[in-house]
Structure 1
Amino acid sequence: MDAILDFVNLIDSFLGSAAWFPYVLLGTGAFFTIYLKFPQVRFFKHAWKVVSGKLDKGDEPGDTTHFQSLTTALSGTVGTGNIGGVALAIFLGGPAALFWMWATAFFGMTTKFVEVTLSHKYRDKTADGSYAGGPMYYMDKRLNMKWLAVAFAVATVISSFGTGNLPQSNSIASTMEATFGFEPWIVGGILAVLLGLVILGGIKRIAAVTSKIVPIMAVIYILGAFSVIFANIENVGPAFVSVLTDAFSGSAAAGGFLGATFAYAFNRGVNRGLFSNEAGQGSAPIAHAAAKTKEPVSEGMVSILEPFIDTIIICTITGLVILSSGVWNQKHENVFDRSDMFFVDGEYQQDNQEDATNVYKYLNELDGTSVGAYNGEIVVVNGKAISGGYTLINARSFAEEVTYFAGSLDDKFSGTLNIVNGDISRTTIIVQGKSLVHSANLTTIAFTKGFLGSYGQYIVSIGLLLFAFSTAIAWSYYGDRAMTYLLGPASVMPYRVVYVFGFLWAAVSDTTLVWAISAVAIVVMTLPNLFGILMLHKEMKETVNEYWQKVKSSK
């Protein structure tokens, strides 16, 4: 498993975690924002009129209403990115990461407007009478780049697992285990069966389910979040200040958090912002292609609302919960994921400035640090280490009060542990202690710091269950549309079967590996789409101008 994680992280280092990727993503959104004269601002009010149905003109071609298309697309984006993704961004980059999530969303509103409009314009009516669309269709029919369309469709299938399936299942299972003590494989099994029952019904059943789930889950989650924010209202102002002041300087060390450079916070904020709202990824256009309208631009305007709702509203609320409650830089009792643990050579202390700086440079991949992997043995008696010469780093923080167990938390380990290149060679060892935490577990802890107390964790569990499950539903549709394009309708059922089994597998898999896979899959899907819409920038402007001429003439 460690070897797989290392390989996935190596690929990610050249893609999503590479210095160039955030600039490409934000640059594309910034280009279209300027080129189309800030459509996310100028068309915002009109977009609400479209989604409300006020501008509908009777029976138009398509399978779903504007509102159903919006909620289906939102169900694909409002998921673990809003609960676990925000927490992961803050854990990695500090408060500054939230600012860059905002920036990604603002420019992403335009990017999504462009990709949805072009994809809807070149959608196809399939043999069964339903509509299919997405970036692969404009790449094929307009750009005449079949190879690019195929590459995007293949990436969509991969990303349906990396974005909509694996991290959603994993976050649900880990949260339900932490909150209710349910075994992950039981949670995964039950939800896999329910998932199969829903996705077999196709887009109409999916749209019907998501149009009911999305509003309900949003209300439950937001009410729970405000119970924390109002309970810590005195910290909200300082939280906003830290987000803004750290944006261009990085976040300084605070509590157990060892600090993050500007480059690290920028990269992680943009990366998590993309995971949250998927602007530029090319996923939402697949859902919007089914909308009932003859005007592609009107559906593109509906999509402007997605990053606004998803990131600027819901992610901001989650970020304020985490920052105002103060849990983001505090150490909490937890069972360490193997992929989060690393034994470094030498004994370092968090309170020693020189030690903390050395580890900070190591974690932020900076030069000038003497920190390196520990190789040797650790003698453990009744769960506690009695030998020295090393420091255990877990979740980017100094681990404290560490206990070692042999296979279960009821069996404290005694003996000698071999450490090879910073990792425990014995895979059955369980390590528990205090450290920073991340992803959905961090958000869960934050929700207990409000008026609801410990009951707040149930809000996260219920919200995550609904958010993530609806995301998995939507992404199954994206994947089966891509399979339809690649191999025809006969390939859809085998894909759905594999998709359901993937949902079960991810429930019992390592959190860090799941997130690493999702990071790679997102970028593999995004790059062809960004290239395609940039190629069609002139047509996009012409299409928008033609739409407004029709609107004016109709008045």
Structure 2
Amino acid sequence: MTEFLYAIDDFMWGSWMTALILIVGIVLSIRFGFRYQRKIIFNFKNTFGKIRSGNEGEGTISGFRAACTALANTVGTGNISGVATAIVSGGPGALVWMWISAFFGMSTKACEIIIGQRYREHYKESMNEYVCDRSFVLKNAFGWKKGAVVLAVFCFLFGPWTCSVQTEAVSSSMSEAFGIPSFVSVAIIGITCLVTIWGGLKRISSVMSKAVPVMAVLYILMGLGVLILNFSQIPAVIALVFKSAFSPTAAVGGFAGATVRDALQYGVARGIYSNDAGTGYGMIAHASAKTDHPVRQSLWGWGEVCLDTFIICAVTAFTIIITGSYYTSDATSGALTTIAFTKAYGNIGGKLTAIAIAVFAWTTIIGMYYTCEKSVNYAFGDTKTNKKMMPVYMIYYMIPCVILYKLEADVLWAFTDILSAVYVLITIFIIVARHKEIFRLFDDFWKRYIPAKEKGENPEFVTFDCRE
């Protein structure tokens, strides 16, 4: 079974998939004039700069809370455990390919958010919430109702299984740092996650808007400390990272070496799992946001990808490489990152990392629940049955998290990679098929809406509710 999963994983994330992802990101970036990459000041002012000023337009929660719900998916163990497995399998050069895919992935992520806002529905009867996911788009944009139902069932049945990588990372890191039995760590994660998701979107977004930023800042500070303590090694590490991205990495110690293909494959795969650019999760989390124009909400995609991959993933990778943990230890996943910070700071470093992994995993499991819930919402519609199914699905969702964590980390990541690849293919198809509508809204925002705002005019909000 393990070999079978590895074979599928290798095929799904082969050269054709990485090429497809990069090409789509490059083409979109060119079409957008690299606005998501170069309009940094504008992007910042219209996202983080408006956290306290409220939001105009229709929606369920603020743009910031929607972004934090999305960040709960992205800023998680993918930044810690995923980066560790990428370096172990693809070598230090995997980090460069993470950065490259993230740079162009900003445009892909923006498209997801625009689509989520464009094809969302307002569920008034069962939950009073704006909702969207891939199934809603298949129905509202293409009229494929039967295919949308099949996809929804697939997502809410198998989506929870990907969270096993979260609980595996927690159990391995907590065992490494504190000697806590795995079942204890998993039980605590399971109970606290269930209590949080029981409160619905508003509780989830409220908790995420507090927990995600605080934990992200603390983890970044830990990583910066490692760089400061080992400042003289930074030039050599940067040289190694870029050299390994474009030439084979020799075997060192317990590290078996890696080819350029390995670096590319694992860098792109883990990068996408970490920042979600191209997976379709962006359209789900941002569909509920209050905004005056879909493209304004899409600016949050820049912040998510930048914080996730260019900063947090880099912190993990540099720590693992500077300490040499990837070739002096046989560990992988969260345990490897814990060992790296232990080498940097002593026992306190390992303990703080284990806590960070636990919090990141906790927020990711909660954020992922919200995305899976939308598939349930689609399958049962805006009915009383939908409302009744929520508690049942919450219980089902937590079962794989607290049972499958005992599997080997590589097996769990292989399964997660396969599901991610399926989501990526569906999302890229949607983006390509609806590119004219995406570009129409993009051009409307930059050529009509923003110029009108700058002139002091009050153009009407551009909002959508496909059901109406």
TM-score by length of 2: 0.91
Checking the alignment, whether the CA contact within 8 Å between 2:119 and 2:136 is kept in structure 1 is: yes
> What residue is the counterpart of 2:130 in the other structure?
131
Match of 2:32 among 36, 49, 62: 36
1:406-428 superposed Cα distances (whole Å, 9 cap, x missing partner): xxxxxxxxxxxxxxxxxxxxxxx
Q: Which amino acid aligns with 1:132?
A: V
Q: In 2, distance between residues paired with 1:32 and 1:147?
A: 30
Q: Quick one: which amino acid aligns to residue 22 of structure 1? A: T
Counterparts in 2 of 1:100 and 1:208: CA distance versus 1, 3 Å: same
Match of 1:250 among 248, 258, 264: 248
Deviation at 1:437, TM superposition (A): 2.1
Give the C-alpha shift of residue 53 in structure 1.
Answer: 1.9
Letter aligned with residue 250 of structure 2: A
Cross-structure match for 2:430: 532
Q: 2 CA distance for matches of 1:487 and 1:525?
A: 21
Q: Residues 112-131 of structure 1 correspond to what in structure 2 (within 5 A)?
A: 112-126=109-123, 127=125, 128-131=127-130
- CA shift, 1:9, in A, is 2.2
Q: Which residue, 73, 76, 85 being the options, matches 2:82?
A: 85
TM-superposed deviation, 1:268:
0.9
Aligned-residue offset at 1:184: 0.9
The within-5 A match list for 1:48-197 is 48-51=44-47, 52-53=49-50, 60-126=57-123, 127=125, 128-158=127-157, 160-163=159-162, 165-197=163-195
Q: 1:55 to 1:206 in 2, by over 3 A?
A: closer
CA distance, structure 1, for counterparts of residue 38 and residue 222 of structure 2? 33
Taking the aligned partners of 1:222 and 1:159, their CA distance within structure 2 comes to 32
Mark the CA change 1:309 to 1:156 in structure 2 (over 3 Å): closer, same or farther: farther
Using the size of structure 1 for normalisation, the TM-score is 0.77
Is 1:520 the counterpart of 2:413? The answer is: no
How far residue 188 of structure 1 moved from its aligned partner, in angstroms, is: 1.1
Q: Does 1:20 align with 2:16?
A: yes
Residues 111/159 of structure 1: CA separation in 2 closer, same or farther (3 Å cut)? farther
Shift of the 200–54 alpha-carbon distance from structure 1 to 2, 3 Å rule, reads: closer
Tell me, yes or no, if structure 1 residue 438 matches structure 2 residue 332. yes
User: C-alpha displacement at 1:501, in angstroms?
Assistant: 1.7
CA distance in 1, matches of 2:81, 2:221: 18
Change (3 A) 1:150 1:280: farther
Kept after mapping to 1: 8 A contact 2:227/2:319: yes
Runs of 4+ in 1 over 6 A off after TM superposition: 54-57
Hey, what does 1:454 align to over in structure 2?
Answer: 347
Cα-to-partner distance string for 1:471-504 (whole Å, 9 max, x where unaligned): 0000101001111112341433322111112221
Structure 1 residues 102 and 154: alpha-carbon distance in aligned structure 2, compared to 1, 3 A threshold: farther
CA offset at residue 55 of structure 1?
10
Match of 2:451 in 1: 552
CA shift at 1:176, angstroms?
A: 0.8
Kindly provide the amino acid, as one letter, of the partner of residue 179 in structure 1.
A
For residue 265 of structure 2, give the secondary structure of its aligned residue in structure 1: helix
**Equivalent position of 1:467 in the other structure:** 360
Alignment of 1:117-516 (within 5 A): 117-126=114-123, 127=125, 128-158=127-157, 160-163=159-162, 165-330=163-328, 332=329, 436-450=330-344, 452-488=345-381, 489=386, 490-516=388-414
CA distance in structure 1 between the partners assigned to 2:440 and 2:52 by the alignment: 21
Judging changes above 3 Å, is the alpha-carbon distance between structure 1 residues 143 and 227 closer, same or farther for their aligned structure 2 residues?
Answer: same
In structure 1, distance between residues paired with 2:180 and 2:368: 25
1:111-162 superposed Cα distances (whole Å, 9 cap, x missing partner): 0001111111111000232110123323221222335534543453256324
Q: Which stretch has the larger CA shift, 55-64 or 303-312?
A: 55-64
The answer to whether the Cα contact below 8 Å between 1:154 and 1:482 also exists between their aligned partners in 2 is yes
Paired with 1:282 and 1:199, the residues of 2 have a C-alpha distance of 21
Partner of 1:344: none
CA apart distance, 1:324:
1.2
Aligned to 2:461: none
Q: Which runs of 5+ in 2 are unaligned?
A: 455-468
Q: Which runs of 5+ in 1 are unaligned?
A: 333-435
Letter in 1 for 2:342: T
Contact 2:110 2:302 in 1 (8 A): yes
Letter in 2 for 1:551: I
- Contact kept, 8 Å, 1:159 with 1:525, in 2: the verdict is no
Higher relative contact order (CA closer than 8 Å, sequence separation 6+): 2
**Aligned to 1:243, what secondary structure does the other structure show?**
helix
Structure 2 distance, partners of 1:56, 1:146, is 39
CA 1:170–1:29: 2 relative to 1, 3 Å: same
Q: Check the 8 A contact 1:63/1:292 in 2, yes or no.
A: yes
The superposition leaves residues 194-215 of structure 1 with CA deviations (integer Å, 9 ceiling, x where unpaired) of 1111001111000000111011
Letter of the structure 1 residue corresponding to residue 24 of structure 2: T
| Structure 2 SS opposite 1:552 | helix
Which string of whole-angstrom CA distances, capped at 9 and with x for unpartnered residues, describes residues 319-355 of structure 1? 111111122121x3xxxxxxxxxxxxxxxxxxxxxxx
Measure the CA separation in 2 of the matches of 1:241 and 1:486. Answer: 51
CA distance in 1, matches of 2:51, 2:98: 32
AA aligned to 1:554 is K
Q: Deviations over 1:39-94 (max 9, x none)?
A: 22243322222223279686531121111111111111111110011111111111
Q: Which has the larger radius of gyration?
A: 1
What code does the residue aligned with 1:482 have? Answer: S
The one-letter code of the counterpart of 1:438 is: T
Contact kept, 8 Å, 1:100 with 1:247, in 2: the verdict is yes
Give the conservation status (yes or no) of the 8 Å contact 1:43–1:301.
no
CA contact (8 A) 1:62 1:290 kept: yes
Counterparts in 2 of 1:286 and 1:101: CA distance versus 1, 3 Å: same
Which SS does the other structure have where 2:254 is aligned?
A: coil
% identical aligned pairs: 33
Provide closer, same or farther for how the CA distance between residues 109 and 257 of structure 1 changes in structure 2, counting only shifts above 3 A: same
TM-align CA RMSD: 1.8
Q: Quick check: 1:49–1:55 contact (8 Å CA) kept in 2?
A: no
Give, as a single letter, the amino acid of the residue that structure 1 aligns with 2:120.
R
Higher helix proportion: 2
Q: Are the counterparts in 2 of residues 83 and 318 from structure 1 also a CA contact under 8 Å?
A: yes
Quote the offset at 1:537 in angstroms. 1.5
